[in-house]
Amino acid sequence: MSLRRFRPYFRYLKSVRGALVAATLAGLLYSAASGAGLPYMIDRVFPAIFANGDRASSWHLVLLIAAYIPLIFFLRGLFGYINGYFIQQAGTKILETLRVDYFAKLQVLPLSFVQRRQTGDLLSRGLADTAQLQTTLTNLANDGIKQPGTLIAALGFVGYKAYHAEGISMMLVCLAVVPLTVLPIRYFGRKLLKRAEQLQAQLGTITGHFSENLSAAREVRAFSLEARETERFREHSATLLALQLKIAKYAQAVSPAIEVIASLGIAGTLLYAYRAGIGKDDFLAVITALYMCYEPIKKMGALNNELKRGEAALSRLEVVLHEPVTITDPAAPTPVDRLRGDLGFEQVTFSYGDNPALRDVTTRIPAGTVCALVGPSGAGKTTFANLVPRFYEAGAGRVTIDGIDVRSMRLADLRRNIALVSQEPVLFNDTIFNNLLLGRAGATREEVVAAAVNAHAHEFITQFPQGYDTVVGERGGRLSGGQKQRLAIARAFLRNAPLLILDEATSALDSESEAAVQDALRKLVVGKTVLIIAHRFSTIRDASHILVFDQGRIVAQGDHASLYAGNPLYKSLYDRQQGAS
């Protein structure tokens, strides 16, 4: 059995100890009732009633004996039920803890971990792999104690009966093939584990494709990709099917293999019994007990397969559960309240993979500066800004605010001092009010409305029939791009952090929205240290300082006039933008 694999999770069992004890006891009673109780019935009850064809027994005795049959089945059923229910209850609770642990871990893992992986695959681990574990646990609940218990009870009965009838040699003949049954269980289990791992991975691929496809519903139609997408899905699905069939092949092979081995044991017992001249009553009881042995072995074989599938699922969850959280609070954090926003980069180098995205960057941005980051696409502007809230960790060098290394502050303290307006603001499927409140938990209704007024969002919000209580749809799907941006700006007003990171939208809004957004931004940046990731240069007019990035380095800095005159890269970027707009 591969229970060892699950040992690290036994600590979860503590909280469900009571249920487990009850389940185990019930399981043992079930085992005794079925492994020994049923053969005992055949051994004693039937001969008493049909004593050599004479109706010798008294009616009362027969009544008593007949009552034994439903009684043994009733006890078996009752204890089986208690056992299964309590184990499943414990298992489901453990699984829930595991699922929440998985989700919670995804919240704190570095951004790079989440970005490196397909969303759908992470989703599938959280849903399909936990569902597989659930099935495994259900199987374990049904058979984990009952089958081994029944086996032991039945083996005991066979041993006792065979020994009683003919002595030790009969007993040995009966039980000789039992150890052999381990061979197919192990062989198919190993085969199945490999396939189960592939199957769960393929489920991840399919979910990945699914979620990617749904998030690109517009593109699929615009580029007429319907047939191509369906074809791709069909291929993924065919691979899944092939793996499922392989698993079915191995899973279905275990029982027949055990039965064939068992039949050898029964045949051997028959031959031996014939030669030793054993009576039919004794023989019948031994054969029944032997059969009671092979049933649990078969079920344990199936359970072993199921455990292998659970093992594969667990491994996939562990990829996330065991991933180290590298961006954490320091052991002895520097206490900070509201920062001034004096930003410093000292010889900072950072790379996502092999190629550095930032190389030896040193600069200082005094508090209150509106600083535009410009440069060709891929030059490192976004990366530079992302190092400030510690979305990523500098590989070498340090990033400081007010002279304090960002790594020596508590993450919550650091991030409370930073407001972020991204180019495609993400809203949660909640009311506008609650979405704005994310800017600063605990803000009053008046403060929220004031922020919306400042962001030129109040007018359009109040035009909705439900006003601030309008639910915005998944990712804010019921709002226009300009409206979403103004809500993001309102959030930043509410947060009122000394540092502001503005990721300028790549595509222009309609001119009315654009004017409202620009005006709101102009008000928002006042008195703050602002990093504008300028994609369109439209915000550059408001910048008092400009950093020009190229291939991960800051190649020039200054104001617009001096850069335009002195830096050819800046001049060509700016001219191209002016020509385009």
Spatial CB neighbours of 157, under 8 Å, sequence gap ≥ 6: 35, 36, 39, 40, 289, 292
Cβ of residue 389: shortest distance to ligand ADP, in angstroms?
14
Strands (E), 276-403: 343-351, 356-365, 370-374, 396-401
Instruction: Report if residue 81 touches ligand ADP, rule: CB under 6 A.
Output: no
Residues 469 to 508: which contact ligand ADP by CB under 6 A? none
Dihedral pair phi/psi, residue 323, rounded to 5°: -65, 130
CA 434 – CA 84 distance, rounded (Å) = 44
Any idea which residue has 């050599």 for tokens?
A: 52
Candidate segments 98-106, 169-177, 206-214, 377-385, binder of ligand ADP by CB under 6 A: 377-385
Any idea which residue has 């001119």 for tokens?
A: 511
CA 164 – CA 474 distance, rounded (Å) = 73
Instruction: Report if residue 381 touches ligand ADP, rule: CB under 6 A.
Output: yes
Q: How far is CA 483 from each of CA 4, 262, 438, 524, rounded to the nearest angstrom?
A: 55, 72, 17, 16
Cβ of residue 442: shortest distance to ligand ADP, in angstroms?
33
CB closer to ligand ADP out of 15 and 115: 115
H or E stretch covering 529: strand 529-533
Instruction: Report if residue 15 touches ligand ADP, rule: CB under 6 A.
Output: no
Cβ of residue 350: shortest distance to ligand ADP, in angstroms?
9
Token pair, residue 33, equals 């009732």
H or E stretch covering 415: helix 411-416
Instruction: Report if residue 377 touches ligand ADP, rule: CB under 6 A.
Output: yes
Candidate segments 262-270, 327-335, 372-380, 430-438, binder of ligand ADP by CB under 6 A: 372-380
Spatial CB neighbours of 453, under 8 Å, sequence gap ≥ 6: none
CB closer to ligand ADP out of 296 and 375: 375
Give the one residue of 126, 380, 425, 481 binding ligand ADP; rule: CB under 6 A: 380
CB closer to ligand ADP out of 202 and 383: 383
Candidate segments 185-193, 373-381, 393-401, 538-546, binder of ligand ADP by CB under 6 A: 373-381
Which amino acid is it at 315? S
Please classify residue 56 by burial: count the beta carbons closer than 10 Å to its beta carbon, then call 0-12 exposed, 13-18 middle and 19+ buried: exposed
Q: How many residues does the chain have?
A: 581
Cβ of residue 539: shortest distance to ligand ADP, in angstroms?
15
Candidate segments 9-17, 153-161, 351-359, 481-489, binder of ligand ADP by CB under 6 A: 351-359
Token pair, residue 448, equals 């929220």
Instruction: Report if residue 406 touches ligand ADP, rule: CB under 6 A.
Output: no
Residues 103 to 142: which contact ligand ADP by CB under 6 A? 115
Residues 282 to 301: which contact ligand ADP by CB under 6 A? none
Instruction: Report if residue 375 touches ligand ADP, rule: CB under 6 A.
Output: yes
Residue 175 CB neighbours (<10 A) = 17
Residues 505 to 564: which contact ligand ADP by CB under 6 A? 549
Instruction: Report if residue 378 touches ligand ADP, rule: CB under 6 A.
Output: yes
CB closer to ligand ADP out of 223 and 352: 352
Q: How far is CA 551 from each of CA 81, 163, 373, rounded to the nearest angstrom?
A: 67, 85, 13
CB closer to ligand ADP out of 107 and 377: 377
Instruction: Report if residue 352 touches ligand ADP, rule: CB under 6 A.
Output: yes
CB closer to ligand ADP out of 116 and 234: 116
CB closer to ligand ADP out of 116 and 249: 116
CB closer to ligand ADP out of 208 and 380: 380
Instruction: Report if residue 379 touches ligand ADP, rule: CB under 6 A.
Output: yes
Instruction: Report if residue 357 touches ligand ADP, rule: CB under 6 A.
Output: yes
Instruction: Concatenate the DSSP letters of all residues of 274-300 into one string.
Output: HHHT--HHHHHHHHHHHHHHHHHHHHH
The size of the interface with ligand ADP (CB under 6 A), counted in residues, is: 13
Give the one residue of 83, 150, 383, 513 binding ligand ADP; rule: CB under 6 A: 383
Cβ of residue 112: shortest distance to ligand ADP, in angstroms?
6
Residue 8 CB neighbours (<10 A) = 12
Sheet of strand 396-401, all strands in order from the earlier edge strand to the far edge: 356-365, 343-351, 396-401, 404-405
CB closer to ligand ADP out of 50 and 352: 352
CA 255 – CA 269 distance, rounded (Å) = 21
Q: How far is CA 280 from each of CA 292, 294, 346, rounded to the nearest angstrom?
A: 18, 21, 92
Sheet of strand 418-421, all strands in order from the earlier edge strand to the far edge: 418-421, 499-503, 529-533, 370-374, 545-550, 553-558
Candidate segments 122-130, 228-236, 376-384, 569-577, binder of ligand ADP by CB under 6 A: 376-384
CB closer to ligand ADP out of 377 and 463: 377
Token pair, residue 427, equals 């809203």
CA 114 – CA 192 distance, rounded (Å) = 30
Q: Enter the DSSP assignment of 424.
A: S
Candidate segments 80-88, 253-261, 291-299, 374-382, binder of ligand ADP by CB under 6 A: 374-382
CB closer to ligand ADP out of 347 and 506: 506
Q: Enter the DSSP assignment of 335.
A: P
CB closer to ligand ADP out of 113 and 493: 113
Best CA proximity match to 449, nearest among 465, 436, 431, 438: 436
CB closer to ligand ADP out of 310 and 552: 552
Cβ of residue 447: shortest distance to ligand ADP, in angstroms?
33
Best CA proximity match to 290, nearest among 158, 153, 152: 158
Spatial CB neighbours of 16, under 8 Å, sequence gap ≥ 6: 89, 90, 93, 94
Cβ of residue 113: shortest distance to ligand ADP, in angstroms?
10
Pairing relationship of beta strands 404-405 and 396-401 according to DSSP bridges:
antiparallel
CB closer to ligand ADP out of 366 and 376: 376
Cβ of residue 356: shortest distance to ligand ADP, in angstroms?
9
Residues 135 to 194: which contact ligand ADP by CB under 6 A? none
Cβ of residue 579: shortest distance to ligand ADP, in angstroms?
20
Chain positions contacting ligand ADP, by CB under 6 A:
115, 352-353, 357, 375, 377-383, 549
